Structure 1
């Protein structure tokens, strides 16, 4: 069973980003993946603020990421970029934490004017951790219905999400085949 880590970079409890990541998590679980969700809100603020690389919680989170078959990272767009707390948390990860692992970036913004935030902000941050980055998905807040699941109902966006999930799973399968052949 594929092990997936889903990280929400949203500092708010009930955010559009968290709901989109929940829907993606559900779709991955339906496809037979074991999904573990992590939020920046799960980490003690003092740990992040004081850059405690050796904190047991950080060590555990990093270990989960390093052992994952796939990673999904989502963030709302704040000032044309990802959230500061997401950056502060990722700064605590060793530089090759995502090495060889497919990474699906997801961003949710209030305007289409920030659509390139995924390309020019989030992807460069994630590439520093050596992950295999997929195209990713950018959504607008207005496409997320907070009242009930499924939270994203727009057919065009759902098709993009499903296409990215298919590619994500294919990349994980390819990596598993490579590791299996390499170890024989």
Structure 2
């Protein structure tokens, strides 16, 4: 199937955003996709803050983006926008790095007051980078994401059904014409 780059734009190692993305990665893998996880926080700060597109780690990310058929781009919402580390990375990629790619924008935040960040902050930058198809994005309130002591993620039933529907549509957009996407259960 498709190669998907799953990008977490969270600066926190214990982020609900990152954990949610890894949970969704497993669902995409069960649908037959190859998923490559990328946590922007693991990239060298000097390369990001120094705006060094030639740094080997940034060049590696650019190669991953080039290889991918699609990207899931997740971010926590800070000050009504996507994270600064995600912005730093996107600024270092080539202008049309997303040309021909299918992209699923996702965001998490403490309040539904930030729901528009997906469409008014994240979507425009993905579009400006030439994304071939940006599927419907989704916002999940932090309190709807539970992480158990062993790291298992559970999404509240009220958020799970629409989130998994959006994920299924993204998966279908990556699938060859005529194939049937998996319908994800909400559990």
Taking structure 2 as the reference length, what is the TM-score of the superposition? 0.89
Displacement of 1:155: 2.1
**What are the equivalent positions in structure 2 for 1:100-139 lying under 5 Å apart?**
100-131=100-131, 132-139=133-140
**Who is 1:161 aligned against?**
163
**What are the equivalent positions in structure 2 for 1:31-180 lying under 5 Å apart?**
31-131=31-131, 132-147=133-148, 150-174=152-176
Displacement of 1:150: 4.9
Displacement of 1:172: 1.1
Whether the aligned pair in 2 keeps the contact of 1:101 and 1:172 (CA below 8 Å) is: no
Taking structure 1 as the reference length, what is the TM-score of the superposition? 0.90
* Unaligned residue ranges in structure 2 (runs of 5+): 180-187
Displacement of 1:111: 0.4
Mapped to 2, the partners of 1:166 and 1:153 lie a distance apart of 16
Mapped to 2, the partners of 1:152 and 1:115 lie a distance apart of 20
State the SS of the aligned residue for 1:145: strand
More helix by share: 1
Change (3 A) 1:99 1:174: farther
Deviations 1:21-67 (A, max 9, x none): 01110100111111111111121000011111111111111111111
* Unaligned residue ranges in structure 1 (runs of 5+): 178-184
Residues matched between the structures, number: 177
Q: RMSD between aligned alpha carbons?
A: 1.7
**Who is 2:25 aligned against?**
25
